[in-house]
Amino acid sequence: MKKILLIICFFISISLTNNNIFCNDEHSWGQILNDNSLMQTITTSNPNATKETKCILNYLYSLSKKTNKKIISGQMTYNGIDESVAYDSLIVKLHDKTNKWVGIVGADYERDYPQKLYKILETNKPLISHFRQGGLVALMWSANNPWTGGNQNDLRNSENLLDLITNGTTANQKWIAYLDSIAVGLKQLQDSGVVVLWRPLHEMNGTWFWWGSKSTTLPDRNDYISVWRHMYNYFTYFKGLNNILWVYSATAKSKKVSNPAFKDELNNYPGDEYVDIISVDIYSDTLDVVNYNQLKSKGKPLVISEFGPDRNTVLNKIQSFDYMSLINQIKSKYPDFVYWVSWNDFVTNGGKDTVYYSPMNQINGKQLLEDGWVINRDEIGWQDSCNIDVEKNALLEPEDGKVYHGVQTMTFADNPDPLAGYLNALNDSTIQPAVRGFFFSVPGERGPANTLKGLNNFFHIADSVGFIPELSLFFVDNRSATDSIIAVSNTHDWILDSIITLCKNYNRKMFLRIGGEFNGSGPGWNGGGYHPYYYVTMFRKIVNMFASKGFRDSIAVNWCYEPDAPNDFDSVDTRGARWYPGDDYVDWFGLDVFDASHFDQSLPNGTGRNLTKKGKSERFLAMAREKGKPVFLSETSAKGINISSDNQDGINDWNNWFAKFFEFIDVHKEIKGFCYIDANWPVGAYPNWGDARIENNTYVTEKYIEEMRKPKYINLYKEVIVQPEDTLPLTEMGETKWKSYEGGLYPNGENARPDAHNSAGIDFANSIVPLDNTGVPNDKGKIVLLSIGMSNCTQEFSAFKMIADTFQMKNPKLQIVDGAQGGQTASIIKDPLANFWTVVEQRLQQQNVTANQVQVVWLKEANAQPNQAFPVHAQMLKSDLKIIVQVLKNKFPNLKIAYLSSRTYGGYATSTLNPEPYAYESGFSVKWLIEEQISGDDSLRYSGESPKAPWLSWGPYLWAKGEKERNDGLFWLREDFGTDGTHPSTSGRLKVAKLLLDFFVNDETSKPWFLGSDVRVNDSNKQDNIISIYPNPASDYIELKLSESFELSENNSIKIYNTLGQCVLSVGANSNELKRIDVSNMPISIYFVIVGSETKKIVIVK
C-alpha cells in the first residue's frame, strides 16, 4: 500500500461558536477527500523504492510459480569478526568445496556496531562486491539493548517498548542514535546500487531477545508493531532509504514447541503495508512449519532467513546432517519458499565447542547447490523479471539482446528540422529514439556541424525530452584535418574546454564519438583524413581532459570506423598503435554503414588485399568481440535507395536495404545500438546517395515501426530514464546551483521572505477588509480571492474552491473566484486586450462581485512548448509574468497581494507542451520576478502613489522530483497526472488544493483575511511546549499531553476537524493528563485539532 501523509494541523481559536463549528454524529467525515485515486496497491511497501528494488521483489514473487530453478541458495557469514575475513573463511571456502557461489550472502549489523560505525562499513565491502557480481544481499540487525547497552539477549528494562519511540526518553535517544548509524550503512549500500533484504527485530515471537521478551502477548505486541512501523517510517521517509525490502522474520512454529510463551509467527505482524517478505527461522533436522498455509495466505514471498540442523545434531559432529534433506523436504512439503540462508558455523562454550551449521561442513553440500531447484549466484535473473537495463563493462551498455534505437541530426539548407519527418512517421510515443546524435567540428564547420550555442540548445532539448545524446566531434579547419594541431598544442583547447563545460552542465550520461571514421583519407574525408599517431594522441588528450574535469565516468567513448574509407587500419603495428587509442580510452567500437555492401550477410568477406567492404565490417566487429567492446552503428542511412512513395518501390527498398540491415544487427550480438540518418542527401555533396527518408513510403514506414516495436529495442519512453539527475527543489538547493544559478525561493538562497518584505505583506494582509462593489469598505461587502492562469491552474484552483467553500473556518466574507482558463498561457494574457480578461470579468459578475472587490490573486502561469536553452526561456516567462502583474494592478485597483506558484512536476509528460526541465525551471521565473520587486524595481513598486504592481510573494511551491519525496513530504506519482502526463488527474488536483489550503490557513500574510477576525493561528515553532504530542511521525495513534500551566475552561476539549470544518472527534482535556487518541481509521486528508486557544502540528503516516 502506498504511504500517504496524513497532515494534522492544530489551530488556535478565540471563539469557536462564532464560526458555527459543531461536533456531533450528523457530520460524516469519511467522505471528504477519500478519493481512491490517492491509494493504489503496489508491489513494494515503499512507494519510492528504486527500480532495482521493485524488480528483485517481482523476481522473488515469480519463483514460486516455476517448476525448476525456483529457490535461491544463501549463506550467513560469521558473526563478530571482520566481515571480509568472514566472507573468505566461509563463502569463498564453500565455493572452493562446491564450485558454486551461493546466491545470497547474509550478514549482521550486530552488537556494538552502532557504537563502531567503521564495522558497519567494513561489513558492506564484500556485500557490495557480491551484489555487483550478480548476487543478493541479506542483512539482519541483532540490536543492543538500548536501556542497558547489553547485547540482544539482555532482557533487562525492556518492559515498555514504546520508550524507544517516545521523544525525550533515554532509550529513545539511544535508539535513534542506533538507527542513525544503521542508516549510514544502508545508505552506503544504496549509493552503491545494492538492494538489501532487511530483517530487523527478528524472532520476536520467542522470548530470548529483548524486543521479543515482552511483546508476545497483548497489548505489548502492539508496542512491538509500533516500534517496527517507526523504524520503517524513519528509514523510508526521514532517511530516504529506497533500496530496502522489509523482511518480517519469526521463528517457525512447530509441533515440537511446547512453551506457551512461544506465539504464532504472525502474532506481531506489523501489517501488509510495512512488509515485503515473510520469513521463518528453522533449526531442525526435520522441516516442520505448522502454520505454513497461514503464512502463504498473506500473499507475500515466503523465505527461510535462517536454517540450521538441530543443534544437538551438529554440535562438534562434522558431516552428520544430509543437506539434501533440506531441499527434498522443501520440494515435498513447502514448495513456495523462494530462498533459504544457512546459518554460519561458530564457536561456543568459551571456545570448547564448535557448531557446524553450514553446508560446507555437512553431508552433500555440493549436491545441494547442484540440485535442479537451486539457484546460485550466476543463475539469478532478477534483471530479466522487469526488463531492466544493466550496465556491464562499458558505460551505458545494455544487457545482451538489447539495442539502442537512435537517430542522427543532419541539417541541410532545404531541411531545417531534419527529425520532424522521422519522429512523426513513427507515430507512437513508445518507440521514439532513445539516442540522438549531434555533430560538432573543431574548430571550424564540417557540413552539418553546429556552434557552441547549438550544442547548448541540443543538450537543453535532451534534458527536456529525455534522450541520450551522442556528441560526435570532428576536427577540420578550412578543409584540413586538425588532429595533428590539437595533439601537440593548446591552440584549440579553449573550444574543447567549452564543450566539456557544456557537457558537465548537462550532467547526465552520454555517448562521445571522437574523430569518427578515423580511417578516411582523401577528398571528403575529415579534411583529407586524420594522421596516424597524431590521431591517437589527440584522442587520448581529449579523454584525459574530460577526466581532469571530473566527467570521464559520464561519457561512453566511441572509436569509429567506416568500411568504405580508403585507409586500412591495424590496431597495432611494429611501431605501436597507429589508430587504436587503447582499451582504457575506448568504451564502445563505432561502425558507420551506409551501402548494403557493408553488411549484406549473403556477400563474401574476402581475404587479404581482396577483403570486401562487408569483410572489413566483419573484421572490425571481430576486433570488438576480441576486446569485449559493444558496438554502436553511429551513422547508418539507406544509401543509393532513393525512397519514393511508390508501393512496389517501398517493398524493394525494404528488402534490398532495411531487411538486410536489421538482419546484420540480429546476427551480431555485439551490436547494441544504431543511429539512423533520415536525410534527403544533397546531390552536390553526396552524389548518388539519394533520399533515405523513411516517411516517404507507407510500406517502409509500417515495416520500420513494426521493427522498432520489437522488445529488443531500447526506445525513449519505455526504458530510458528521462528525468534529469541533478534537479533539486528550489527549497532544497542550499549552496548547490542549477546551471550556475542560485536556488531558494528568495534572495541569497533563502526560503523565507526577507524581514522588510514580509512586514510589508503582513501590513497589507491586515488592511484587507470587505469592500462593496464600488471598492468602499463595507461590513456587508466581500473580499475576492481570484485565480489567474492556464489550464492546470483552473483545474487545481477549482478543486481548492470546492474544498475551501465548504471549509467552515474560512472567513465568511471571502469570495473565491476561479478566473484561470485552459490554453491561456502567459504570452497570451500579458496582452490587456486579450479575451482572457473579458472572461475573467464575466466570471466575477456570475458570482455577484466586481473587479473593485478583488484584493488577492493566485497566479500560476507557463508558456506552451518552450524550446530555448536555460536561462533564456525562464527569463522570457519572467518578463511575461512581470507584465501580467502590472496588468493585474491596472484591472483590479484594490489588488494588494499576488501569490505566485510555478509548475508541478513535468517528468511524466508525453508531449512537448511543458515537459522537464522546463517545468522545473519555471520556478526560477517566479523567483527572479519576486527578487526584482524586493530589490526595488520601480516597475514593480507596490507602495506610494500610483503603485504599479501588487505585493508579490511565493504561494505554495509545487515542484517535486516525481516519486522522490521532498523534505516536507511532497512527491508526484504518475497517477497524479492525466494521460498526457502534464495536466493533473483528480488526485493531482486534490494534492495542489490541499497545498493551497494549508498555505492560506498558515501563512501570516493570508491568515488575517482568509480565516477572518474570529480565528487566529500561531506558529507552532514559537510554542513553549504547552502541548506535547508523540510519537512524531505517528501512524495508528497520537498521545497528547497538556502542561499544568495550560488554563482550561469548564467546557474545554480536544476537537479534530476535517477540511470541511466538521468535527470528527471530541474528547475531554485535562491538564497534565496523557490522552491517547486513535487516528488509524481516519481517511486520507488534512485535519485540524483545536485545544482551547493552543496549537501543535504533527505528521501522521498512514
> Known catalytic residues?
203, 306
> CA 932 to CA 944: how far, in whole Å?
17
C-alpha cell recorded at residue 4: 500517504
Which residues, 6 or more positions from 995, have their beta carbon under 8 angstroms from its beta carbon?
Answer: 956, 958, 970
> CA 370 to CA 364: how far, in whole Å?
10
CA 235 to chain centre: 16
Q: Are residues 277 and 305 in contact, defined by beta-carbon separation less than 8 angstroms?
A: no
3-class SS of residue 555: strand
Nearest C-alpha neighbor of 273 from the set 1035, 968, 967: 1035
CB half-sphere exposure, 16, CA atoms < 13 A: 23
Cis bond upstream, residue 950 (ω within 30): no
> CA 515 to CA 580: how far, in whole Å?
12
DSSP string, 733-789: -TT-EETTEE-SSSGGG-SS--HHHHHHHHHHHHH---B-TTS-B-TTSBEEEEEEE
141 phi and psi, to 5 degrees?
Answer: -145, 105
Helices 170-191 and 117-132: crossing angle in degrees, nearest 10, is: 30
A 10 A CB-CB count for 384 gives: 14
DSSP string, 152-182: TT--TT-S-GGGGGSTT-HHHHHHHHHHHHH
Nearest C-alpha neighbor of 914 from the set 965, 957, 969, 877: 877
Which residues, 6 or more positions from 277, have their beta carbon under 8 angstroms from its beta carbon?
Answer: 57, 60, 197, 245, 246, 247, 248, 300, 301, 302, 303
C-alpha cell recorded at residue 363: 553431508
Q: Are residues 821 and 798 in contact, defined by beta-carbon separation less than 8 angstroms?
A: no
CA distances to 10, 24, 599, 1056, 1088 from 1062, in Å? 14, 9, 74, 8, 10
C-alpha cell recorded at residue 674: 544504431
3-class SS of residue 78: coil
Cis bond upstream, residue 777 (ω within 30): no
**What is the pairing mode between strands 5-13 and 302-308?**
unpaired
Q: How far apart are the first and last CA of the chain?
A: 9
Residues counted in the chain: 1102
Beta bridge partners of 1055: 1066, 1090
Q: Are residues 100 and 370 in contact, defined by beta-carbon separation less than 8 angstroms?
A: yes
Which residues, 6 or more positions from 145, have their beta carbon under 8 angstroms from its beta carbon?
Answer: 151, 152, 154, 155, 156, 157, 158, 210
Compute the CA torsion angle 580, 583, 587, 593 (nearest 10 deg). Answer: 30
> CA 756 to CA 753: how far, in whole Å?
8
**What is the pairing mode between strands 510-514 and 468-474?**
parallel
Work out the burial of residue 574: count CB atoms within 10 Å of its CB; fewer than 13 is exposed, 13-18 middle, 19 or more buried: exposed
Which residues, 6 or more positions from 163, have their beta carbon under 8 angstroms from its beta carbon?
Answer: 147, 169, 171, 172
> In three state form, how does the secondary structure of 358-400 look?
CHHHCECHHHHHHCCCEECHHHCCHHHHCCCCCCCCCCCCCCC
